Structure 1
Amino acid sequence: MSAAAADVTDDAASAPPCPQCGASLHVDPLWVTWCDKCDWNVDPADPEPPTAGRKRRRQRQQREREVQLRARRGERLYHAVARAAEQGVGHRRDPNRMASGLLAALIHVPTLALLTLGVVVAVSGPRDLVHWIIVAALVGLVVLVRPRFGRLSRKKVALTAAEAPALFALTDRICAVLGAHPVTWVVVDDSFNASYGHVGLRRRRMLRIGLPLWSVLDDDEKVALLGHELAHDVNGDLAHGVLVSSALQTLATWYRIIHPGPVMYVGGDSTMSAGEALARPLLAGLANLFLAVLRAEQRLLLRSSQRAEYLADALAIKVASRGAVITLFNKAFLAKAYWFGLRRAALVGAPDLWAAGRGHLATVPAHELTRLHRVAVRRGHQVDDTHPPTALRIRFASTHAAGIPAVRSDRSEMEAVERELAPGYRRVAAVMRSAVGRPHSGDQLV
C-alpha cells in the first residue's frame, strides 16, 4: 500500500462517527461538519434545541413543519413550471400574474377618483378660502399616493454605451437573441448579485451587476448571467411592470397616511379625547384593510416572480449553455463564503480584494457545495422569497438539452469588458474596504 493510500485509510479510520446514523463524517475546521448519509447537521442555521422542555420541543416541531411546507411549496412550483415548459405554456397565462395585474388596476381606482374629485372641485364651487383649502388638500393627497417610477441615484456607478462600448455591444447581442430592448445604463455595485429593472417615467432599462459576483465567473458564466437578467424584459415578469410596482407603493403610502399614530389627547379637552377614541379604531381598521390588500398583492406577485425566474433561466440556457447556467448557480451558492474570505482579506490589508475573494472560493470543498444544495432544497420557498431554491433551479436547468450557445464571447472581447469595468472595480473595492464588518445581503440572482 502506498503512503498516500495509507494516509487516506488512516483519515477514514479516525473520522468521528455521525451521532445519528454512525457513518463517518467529513471534518474540516473551516467548514460545517455534517453527515451526507442522514443529513445530520446539514443546516446548522436551524439548530436543534435542547431536548428538555415541552416548549422547546414544540418550537422544534413547528420549525420542522415550516421546513417541510416550504419544501413542498418549492417542489410544487418546480413541477408546475416543468410541465408548462413541456406543454409550451407561456408565463402570461399564469393565474397569479393575471390576478396580480387585475388587483393592481383596482388599487389605482381610489387615486384616479381623488384626482377626478380634485378637478371637479377646482372648476366649481364658491372659490373662497375654504374652497381652495379643500382643493389643495385633494391635490396634496393625490401627490402623496401617485405612482412613483424610480430614478437613477447619482451615487451609483452607472456606465453608458459611450463609456463601455464592449460591454454594451455584448448586452446588445444578447438582447437581439432574446428580443429584449437594449439597456440604457449598466450599474455596478458591491453586491454578490445582479438585477434588471426599469427606472424613470420613460421606463429606461437598467442592468445592475454586482462586481463581487461578476469577478468570480468565467466568460461563459458571465454571458449566462447577462442572459438571465436581460430575459426579465421578455418573460412577463410583473416585478418590472409599472402597474404592479406602483400599486404596491400606493398601498404602502395609504397605510402610512391612515394608520393612527400615538395618542395625542390624554386628559384635557374631553371632546377631543372622545373624538380621538372614536376615530382611532376606524382609522386603524381602514389602514389594516390596505395592509391586507398589500400583503395579498405581494403574495401574488412573489408567486409570479418565482415562476418568472425559471423562465429567465430557460432563456439564459438558450443564450449561453446549460453547463454555464448550472456552474453560475453553483457559484451563487457561495455568497457567504465569498464575504468571509473578502472580509478576512480586507482586515489584513490584502492589496487585491478581488483575487482574495476568488482564492477563497477556490478552497470550498465539494462536500460543502453538496451541503448547500441540500439546504436549499430543505428550506424550500420562504413566504417572501422572489426566487425558487437554487438547487431546484439547477435541477430545472439540467432537464434542458445542452444545445449550442446563441451568444459566444472570445477572450479579447471579455478582456475589453474588464478594462471598461476597471474604474468600477476600484471604486467598489474602496466601498468594500470601508464596509468591513457590516453584513452583506443579496446572495440570489434576481
Structure 2
Amino acid sequence: MENDLAVRPSEGQLCPDCGHSLVAADERFPRWCADCDWNVDPTPPDAEPGRLAAARRRLARRHGEELAAAMAGGAANRPRRDAASLLALGLALLVHGVTLVLAVAGLLLIVLGWETVVQPVGGAVLLVAAFVLRPRMQGIPQDGPVLYRDDAPRLFELIDDVAAVTGTAGVHAVVVGGDVNAAVTAYGRRQRRVLLLGLGLWEVLAPQERVALLGHELGHFAHGDVRHKMLTCHALRSLGLWVDTLAPSRGNTVWDMLFNVLAYLPRCAAYGLLVLLDHLTLRAAQRAEYEADLNAARAGSTGGAVGLLERLLVLRSVHTLLRREAVAAQMTGGAAGRRIREAAEPGLWERIAAHVASIPAHEHERLLRVSARRGHGVDDTHPPTHLRLRCVARTEPRPALVDLGEERSAAVAAELAPARATVARQVLSAVC
C-alpha cells in the first residue's frame, strides 16, 4: 500500500542528501525526496499533550502495531470478553459503587445524626459530592441541526441498509455539525442511538467513501465496543470529572491549601483509576476500530474504505481551510461583514471538497510516510492511520454491498441541503 502512489520528480531540483530528483513542486506543499525521505516531515511535532493523552498515544501505537500484526497473521479474532474487558467492567462497577456509597453515607449521616450539628453537615457534603460525581445520561447533542426519520427518509434508508450489512440496527437521529469527524453515541434513558455527522468530513468524501464511513461508525455498535458500553463510558466520564473536580486550587488562602492537602490522595486515586480503566479498555477499543474498518469495506467496498482512510490523512488541511474561511468572513464587521458571510455560505462545502480533491498524489504519499513516522491517528485512542490502511488494503478485495448511486446520492444531498446551509452559517460565524 505504501508504494502504490506514484511520485513525480521535479525538473532541476535535486535532493541535498542523496542527489535524486525531488518530488514535483506545489507551492502549497513541501518539496521532498521520495528516495531518502529528505524533508518529508518538515513541520515541528505537535505540542506535547497532557500526561494521560501522551500515555494513550503511546499505548495506541503499541497496541495498534500488535493488532495489525495479528490481523496480518489471521489471529485478530479473539474473544470480546477477554480478561481485560472483564476487569474493566468490574472497575467501572467499582467507580459507580463509590458514588453510591457517598450518597448512602450522606443520607445515613443526616438521618442518624440529626441531633448533632457536625454529622448532618458532613452528610450534606457527601450528598453534594455524590450528586456532582453521579453518572449523567447524555441528552441529544446540540452541535447542529437534528434530523429524524421524517426529515430525511432517504438518508435514514441508507443508514438502515448499511446497518443491516454490518449486523446492527440503525439510528434514531442524525446530528449534522461542522466538525471534520463523525461518531456514534447514545442519549437519554432509553439509550437511543444517534449519528454525529460532521460535514467537514462528509463533504470531502466520494459516494462509496461515505457508505464506508457509515459502515465504520455503525460497526462500533455491531462489535460491542467496550468504550461505547454505558457502564464503561459513564465510568470513564465520572473519573474524568473526579480528576477535574479534585484538581489543585491555585489560590494562596488557607482554605485553598487545606483543600489541596485533603484532596491530594483522592485525586491520586481517581487519576490512577482513570489510567487503569483507560489501559484496560484501550486494546479492545483498538480492535474495535480495525473491525469497524472491515465493516467499512464490507458496506462501501475495499476501495471506498481505503479512500476514506486516505482522507483522514488530510484532515488537518480541512481544519485549516475551515478556520481560514471563518476568519476571512469575519474580517469586516457590520452590514458589509454580514453580506460577505452570506456570499461565502452557499459555496463553502464545495470549496472545501475542491481543495481536498486538488491535493496531488505525491502529497498523499508524503502524509502517509509522515503517518508511519509519527503514528498519526484520528485521536489518541485510534490505531495509527497507516496501519489501518495497511490492514484494509491487505484483505481480499470486497465489492460494495450498499451502493450510493447518482440518484440516491442526489436525494440524500437534497435532504441535507437545509442542514448544510445552517452549518455553513455556523462555521463562518464561529468565534475564532
Q: Aligned match of 2:413 in 412, 418, 422?
A: 418
Structure 1 gap ranges (5+): 1-8, 48-66, 267-271, 439-446
Once the two structures are superposed, what CA deviation does each residue of 1:297-321 show, in whole Å capped at 9, x if it has no partner?
A: 2233333322211010111212221
Separation in 2, partners of 1:345, 1:129: 60
Structure 2 gap ranges (5+): 1-7, 46-56, 330-339
Alignment of 1:129-208 (within 5 A): 132-154=120-142, 156-208=144-196
Could you tell me which residue of structure 1 aligns to residue 98 of structure 2? 110
* CA gap 1:46/1:262 in 2 versus in 1, 3 angstroms: closer
* CA gap 1:35/1:264 in 2 versus in 1, 3 angstroms: closer
Could you tell me which residue of structure 1 aligns to residue 207 of structure 2? 219
Once the two structures are superposed, what CA deviation does each residue of 1:152-176 show, in whole Å capped at 9, x if it has no partner?
A: 2445311000111111111112222
* CA gap 1:283/1:137 in 2 versus in 1, 3 angstroms: closer
Separation in 1, partners of 2:89, 2:225: 11
Deviates more, 1:201-210 or 1:383-392: 383-392
* CA gap 1:433/1:380 in 2 versus in 1, 3 angstroms: same
Alignment of 1:9-408 (within 5 A): 12-15=10-13, 17-26=14-23, 27-46=25-44, 74-83=64-73, 86-87=74-75, 89-90=77-78, 92-121=80-109, 124-126=112-114, 132-154=120-142, 156-262=144-250, 265=253, 280-342=260-322, 347=328, 350=344, 352-380=347-375, 385-408=380-403
Separation in 2, partners of 1:91, 1:161: 35
* CA gap 1:74/1:43 in 2 versus in 1, 3 angstroms: farther
Given residue 293 of structure 2, which amino acid in structure 1 is its aligned partner?
A: D
Q: Does the CA-based 8 Å contact 2:146-2:173 persist in structure 1?
A: yes
Deviates more, 1:132-141 or 1:27-36: 132-141
Q: Does the CA-based 8 Å contact 1:171-1:182 persist in structure 2?
A: yes
Once the two structures are superposed, what CA deviation does each residue of 1:16-41 show, in whole Å capped at 9, x if it has no partner?
A: x2122221112322211111111111
Once the two structures are superposed, what CA deviation does each residue of 1:191-249 show, in whole Å capped at 9, x if it has no partner?
A: 12111111222211110111122112222111111111011112121221221221122
Displacement of 1:186 in angstroms is: 0.3
RMSD: 3.1
Q: Normalising to structure 1: TM-score of the pair?
A: 0.80
Displacement of 1:97 in angstroms is: 3.1
Separation in 2, partners of 1:190, 1:36: 35
Q: How many residues align?
A: 398
* CA gap 1:149/1:170 in 2 versus in 1, 3 angstroms: same
Separation in 1, partners of 2:245, 2:237: 12
Q: Does the CA-based 8 Å contact 2:162-2:402 persist in structure 1?
A: yes
Could you tell me which residue of structure 1 aligns to residue 48 of structure 2? none
SS of the aligned residue for 1:404 comes to coil
Separation in 2, partners of 1:143, 1:299: 27
SS of the aligned residue for 1:391 comes to helix
Percent of matched pairs sharing the same residue: 38
Once the two structures are superposed, what CA deviation does each residue of 1:90-149 show, in whole Å capped at 9, x if it has no partner?
A: 461454433322322222221122233345445545567666544433322221111112
Separation in 2, partners of 1:164, 1:128: 61
SS of the aligned residue for 1:423 comes to helix
| Rg larger in structure | 1
Q: Does the CA-based 8 Å contact 1:91-1:235 persist in structure 2?
A: no
SS of the aligned residue for 1:207 comes to strand
